[in-house]
Structure 1
Amino acid sequence: MDACSRNNVAVAGRTDGPVLLLAHGFGCDQNMWRLVVPALSPHFRVVLFDYVGSGRSDPSAWNEERYSSLDGYARDVLEICAELDLRDVIFVGHSVSAMIGVLAAARAPERFSRMVMVAPSPRYIDEDGYRGGFSSDDIDELLESLESNYLGWSATMAPVIMGNADRPELGEELTTSFCATDPDMARVFARTTFLSDSREDLRTVAIPTLVLECSQDVIAPREVGAFVHDAIPGSRLVTLEATGHCPQLSAPQATAAAVIDFTGAGR
C-alpha cells in the first residue's frame, strides 16, 4: 500500500509554497490542526496525515512491533516524504511527534530544513536533575488505567490534558478524538510515548528549530521546554500565552503566527 493512502495524506495551501508537514500527537489525528491551517495555507504547501492507528489511516497497516517504538512512526514520516518527493520540509510536530521529527531528520537530513516543536517532551518521567512532569509511579498508574479502561481513561484525562476548564468544548473534542482511536492500538502508542526517552536524540538536531511551549501545561511543564531549548544549539524558545497541551486548538492564531514568524513566510 502506498504511504499516502495508508496515512490518509491531505494537502492544502499553495502548490508553490514551502512545505509544512503537520504531525499530530498521541490520541489525535490531522483534524487537530484544522484551526491553524487557514492561517498557514496562504504561505505554505500544508501536508497533513494520520499515523497508522489514528484517524482515518488504514488499520490493516498496523503492526505492533513496528509501532512499539518511535522509530516506526518516523518511518511513516519518511515514507510520506519519499512518496511525495518532499524536500526542504518544515516539520511541525505536536507533543510526542516533535521527537518523531527528530528521529526522521536524523535518518534523512536532506529532507528537512526547519523544525517546529509544539509542546514537546523528550522524557515524561522525572529523574535526578531532570523534571519531566511525572514520577515513574504516575506513569505506571496512567498506563494501567488506560489499559484497563481506555474509554474511561479518555473521558477523565482528555480535559486535564487540554486544560482550559473554562472552555469545556475543547476537552470534549479531545475526548472524542481519544475515544475514536482503536483501544488496542492506542495502548501501544501510549506505552511508546510515555516510556520513551529521546533526550540524547535532541543533540542530533542540526536545523533551525522553534520550541513552542504553553505558559501552563501539565503534560510538558516549562522546565521541559527549557531543557529542549538548551539541548538544541541555536534553537528559539517561544512561550505562548496559552494553557493546556494543545495550543493549536486553544490558541490557534498565536500558534500559527509563531510558525509564520519563525519561518519568515510572512515577510
Structure 2
Amino acid sequence: MDVWRRNRVTVTGPEDGPVVVLSHGFGCDQNLWRLVVPLLDDRFRVVVFDHVGAGRSDMSAWDAEKYSTVEGYAQDVVAVCREFAPVPVTFVGHSVSAMMGVVASVQEPELFEKLVLLTPSPRYVDDAGYRGGFSAEDIEELLDSLESNYLGWSATMAPVIMGTPDRPELGEELTNSFCRTDPEIARVFARTTFLSDHRAALAGVTVPTLVAQSARDAIAPPEVGAYVHAHIPGSELVTLDATGHCPQLSAPRATADAIASFVLER
C-alpha cells in the first residue's frame, strides 16, 4: 500500500535540511504536533504522519493482529522513514511512539541519525525494582473502564493525561482527539500501549538518544525517564519545564528547543 495514503504523511521545511520525523502517541494524531512544527520547519525537513487507525490514516489498512504489538507500528515507522527521508532521520517519538522508535532503530539502525524519546515509558506496570507508575490492578481497571465506556473514559482520563487543570482547553482538545478514534481501534491500541514491556530493547539502541521528560507527568513519572536514560547507552536526559504527558501542547517552545538543540548537537 502507498505509504503516503496509509499514514497520511505531511512534509514541510527545506528540502536540504536535517530530517525530523514526529510520531504521535495513543489516542492522538499528527495534529498534536501543530504547535511544534512551525518552530522547527524553518530549519529542518519535518515529517509528520498518522498511525494507522488514527487521524486521516487509511482505515482499510487497520489490522488488529498487526497493531496489537508495538513491533507492528515500528514496521510502519521504518516504511515512512524509507519513503520520505533521503538521509538518516532524527525520530521523535511521543509516549508509546518512543518505544516504536526504539524497536525500529534496533531493527534498522542505518535509518536513524538520532532518537528523541518524549515522555517515554518502556513499561507502565510496576515490577520488582521498577516503577512504571501503575499497579497491574490500576491498568486492568483503566482498560476495563475504556472497554466498557470509551467516551466516558476519554472525558475522564484526557484531562489527567494532559495534566493542565489551569488550561482546561488542552484537556478538552485531547478528549476530542480520543473521541475521534474508533472505539474498537482504541481498545486494541490501549492494550498495546499499557501492557507492553520493552525494557529489554533499550540496551540495543546504538544511535544517539535524548530522553525528554516533563517535570510533572502523572503517566510517566521521573523515575521512568531516569530508567530509560540509564538503560540506553550514552543517552542524554533533559527535564522540560512542562506539566503533563503531552509537552508538545503544554510547552511547545521548550519541546521544540530541546529537539532542535539535540539535532544540531555534534
Give TM class, smaller chain.
Answer: over 0.9
1:52-98 deviation per Cα after TM superposition (whole angstroms, max 9, x unaligned)? 00010011000001001001100111111222354311000000000
Show the counterpart of 1:155.
155
Q: Is structure 2 residue 13 aligned with structure 1 residue 49?
A: no
**Cα separation, 2, equivalents of 1:254 and 1:85:** 25
Show the counterpart of 1:164.
164
Secondary structure, counterpart of 1:42 in structure 2: coil
Q: Is structure 2 residue 188 aligned with structure 1 residue 196?
A: no
**Cα separation, 2, equivalents of 1:242 and 1:85:** 30
Secondary structure, counterpart of 1:54 in structure 2: coil
Show the counterpart of 1:74.
74
1:85-126 deviation per Cα after TM superposition (whole angstroms, max 9, x unaligned)? 543110000000000001111111111010000000000000
**Cα separation, 1, equivalents of 2:182 and 2:87:** 33
Show the counterpart of 1:264.
264
Show the counterpart of 1:111.
111
Show the counterpart of 1:23.
23
Structure 2, gaps ≥5 residues long: none
Which runs of structure 2 are paired with 1:103-252 in the superposition (5 Å)?
Answer: 103-252=103-252
Secondary structure, counterpart of 2:79 in structure 1: helix
Secondary structure, counterpart of 1:240 in structure 2: strand
**Cα separation, 1, equivalents of 2:83 and 2:238:** 33
1:164-219 deviation per Cα after TM superposition (whole angstroms, max 9, x unaligned)? 10000000000000000011001000000000000010111111100000111000
Instruction: Give the aligned length.
Output: 266
Letter in 2 for 1:244: G
Alpha carbons 1:71, 1:103 under 8 Å: kept: yes
Letter in 2 for 1:203: A
Structure 1, gaps ≥5 residues long: none
Q: Is structure 2 residue 97 aligned with structure 1 residue 97?
A: yes
1:12-53 deviation per Cα after TM superposition (whole angstroms, max 9, x unaligned)? 111110110000000000000000111100111000000000
Letter in 1 for 2:222: R
Percent of matched pairs sharing the same residue: 66
Letter in 1 for 2:91: F
Alpha carbons 1:86, 1:111 under 8 Å: kept: no
Secondary structure, counterpart of 2:117 in structure 1: strand
TM-score, normalising length: structure 1: 0.98
**Cα separation, 1, equivalents of 2:83 and 2:257:** 29
| Alignment RMSD (CA, Å) | 1.0
Alpha carbons 2:19, 2:85 under 8 Å: kept: no
Alpha carbons 1:91, 1:115 under 8 Å: kept: yes
Q: Is structure 2 residue 55 aligned with structure 1 residue 34?
A: no
Secondary structure, counterpart of 1:230 in structure 2: helix
Secondary structure, counterpart of 2:157 in structure 1: helix
Secondary structure, counterpart of 2:169 in structure 1: helix
